[in-house]
Chains A and B, each alone.
Chain A
Amino acid sequence: MSESEWRLRAPANLVSKRAVLLWTLRAVIFWVVVVGAQGVVLLVVDGAPTWLRATMVVAAVVGVVHALVMPRWRYRVHRWETTGDAVFTRSGWISQEWRLAPISRIQTVDTARGPLQQLLNLSTITVTTASAQGPLRVEGLDAEVAARVVDELAATTQATPGDAT
């Protein structure tokens, strides 16, 4: 893969190392539900179709590979950076998304923490702009880092005039 023409550097900061655990847990929960549902059908229903065994094995293998590969891959991709006039994020794994928003166009900055994130003391920063394209998100930040970043962004955003459309 040639990167010679891709002169855009990655954002400076990594997310928390615990984010790997977060993504692994999410993948494991998802695949346990998928495989488990098929398992229950196989055990409970008489004369369940035989191909269900095959799909269950396939789902289990895909699930294990996904839970092992995806979080580590994501950890290498997910990065973020804030400068004096812009927020810059990178996310994804197989497909990657780079987002850039000027500070002057930011409308709100919030943090959100799901149950898993609370367990791991992590936090997601959501930076919304006036667009219907959806907000910029930095997932799996250490909760204290997230709180600090939000304070900084809120301060810079307020100091910038304009209605952000």
Chain B
Amino acid sequence: MIVVRPLNELIGLLPPLAALVFFGDFDTWRVITSFGVVGLVIGYGLLSWLTTKYRITDSQVELHKGVVFRQRRSIPRDRIRTVDLTAKLGHRLFRLSAVRVGTGQQERTPGEGTVTLDAVTAVEAERLRQALLRKTEHVEDADEEGVTIASLDTRWYRYAPLTLSGFISIGIVIGFLMNLVNELDLRFSEVGFFRRALHWLSSAEPATVVPVVAGFAIVLSVLASLAGYLLQNHNYRLTRQSDGTVRVRRGLLTTRSVSIEEKRLRGAVLHEPLLLRAGGGGRVTAVTTGLNKVGGSSLLLPPAPRPEADRVTADVLAVADTPTASPLTQHPARAKTRRIIRAVVPTVVIAAVLLALAETADWPTWLWIVAAVLVPVSALVALDRYRALGHSLTNDYLVARSGSLDRRTVALRRDGIIGWKLTRTLFQRRARVFTLTAVTAAGSGGYSVLDIGDEQGLDLAEAAIPGLIGQFLIRG
């Protein structure tokens, strides 16, 4: 803790500091400020370490912390659902780890239901993980490996470029660099290579620039997504431990270990974004109480072949066949009309507005041409979205699927449903469809069956939890 917190922050500050030293025009005042900032960061880390204490009693986990605002948080041990060990690079240098304990409590403010101990030694973290999740007295070896459900196969790397993470990370990096260049007033245009590149970009024909830039972007994004896959999923293992938890371990520089209490596992989500689906792959996340929605802590399986995704889902949920692959009932054709209208009308309106602006206000004409080309594309996406819509009910699970660019199939345990939400917009009422949301304590709190037919949806709600909605239905 004493070094790790500032160290992690310093690692984040390294690139700009290095850039400042190597490229910046030296300015004593600026250097003093940066060292002052470093000093403050270290001082604050020291103070937080001195003021943080935790205690684990028979019934409670208590954390006292805060430099200016003192904070005391305690959570009952029998409410602990998940334990997440995260070790960033700074932690790993000193064999430390951050322990995040999640409960099933509803979070009104983010973080209310969790306690984070940042950082304890890796050995202590492992001891805590076992102690906190063990409800019954039983002895476990310190290095128990558990039963492996799945582990990383190097062939899965071929799915990495099929996620958009590469594009996104390139965008972030470029944005960051641009910002840095601006901030530090670096003059890249004076470096020969960049000047030649810029000159070529501004002078060459668009017909050659566009493919070259596009090719460059694709190669970069493939490399970035491969690197991202390596960083996040190196040494990925999914195991079932003898203390009734499933455990995911992964990561190259930042290592994570997430333990989920099996009793609290309410289902799983199969994610198949368009590209990944085209390549026959999928990604699986857990629906459980006690995990933060952010930070990817609920990941069960990184992008992997679809049959593997189905096998892992079935194994984790302890069923013979995964509910996420069960045959689905389609939604009425009225839902298709709605999908098409919702996708096509906005693009047509945008194209029309751009056309009008091109005619009257001298906007470039290619804008409305691009928008017009997008109209049939949006219609195709709409058709695909309709094809994705579906639901089914198995013995234990409610299954719902929707989305095209980001298709997700949710399997939610029927006994984990703690209520219904039925929403009907004016247009949905006219189309005799509605959105049925199964309310649950786990995951995002609610999972929707989009545009289900009136009759169909009410029957589904009654069949999933007999007797709840039934008392309000008109029999006839």
Interface residues of A (CB under 8 A from B): 1-2, 5-9, 11, 81, 83, 85-86, 88, 94-102, 105, 107, 128-134, 136, 163-165
Q: Is the CB of A6 within 8 A of B444?
A: no
B473 close to A8 (CB less than 8 A): yes
- A sample of 28 cross-chain residue pairs with beta-carbon separation below 8 angstroms, ordered by A number, consists of A2-B432, A5-B453, A5-B454, A5-B455, A7-B454, A8-B422, A8-B458, A8-B469, A9-B472, A9-B474, A86-B471, A94-B425, A95-B426, A97-B422, A99-B420, A99-B422, A100-B421, A100-B469, A102-B418, A128-B106, A129-B418, A131-B106, A132-B106, A132-B444, A133-B421, A133-B439, A136-B419, A165-B104
> How far, in Å, is B459 (CB) from chain A's closest CB?
9
Kindly list 10 other residue pairs between chains A and B, CB separation below 8 angstroms, not including A132-B107, A133-B445, A136-B419: A5-B455, A6-B454, A6-B458, A7-B474, A9-B473, A81-B472, A99-B420, A102-B418, A129-B418, A131-B439
Contact with A along B326-341 (1 / 0, CB 8 A): 0000000000000000
Chain B interface, >50% SS class:
mixed
A134 to B430 alpha-carbon distance, docked (Å) = 27
Chain B contributes a number of interface residues (CB within 8 A of A) equal to 37
Q: Which chain B residues border A81 with CB–CB below 8 Å?
A: 472
**Which residues of chain B from 412 to 464 have a CB within 8 Å of any chain A CB?**
418-426, 429-430, 432, 437, 439-441, 444-446, 453-455, 458
Q: How far is the CA of A96 from the CA of B426 in the complex (A)?
A: 8
Give A105 to B418 CA distance when docked, in angstroms: 6
Most B C-beta atoms less than 10 A away, residue of A101, A132, A165: A165
Complex alpha-carbon distance, A105 and B455, angstroms: 26
Contact A131 B419, CB 8 Å, known A8-B469, A102-B468: yes
State how many angstroms separate the Cβ of A135 from the closest Cβ of chain B: 9
What residues of chain B have their CB less than 8 Å away from a CB belonging to chain A?
A: 104-107, 289, 418-426, 429-430, 432, 437, 439-441, 444-446, 453-455, 458, 465, 467-469, 471-474, 476
Contact of B445 among A5, A86, A88, A132 (CB under 8 A): A132
Beta-carbon nearest neighbor of A99 in chain B: B421
Closest CB of chain A to B337's CB: distance in Å?
A: 15
User: Are A95 and B473 also in contact (CB < 8 A) when A131-B441, A133-B445 are?
Assistant: no
- Shortest beta-carbon distance from A34 to chain B in Å: 24
8 Å CB contact of A100 from B289, B419, B474? B419
Partner of B421, one of A83, A98, A165: A98
B458:A101 contact, CB within 8 angstroms: no
Residues of B within 8 A of A107 (CB): 106
B419 and A101 within 8 A (CB):
yes
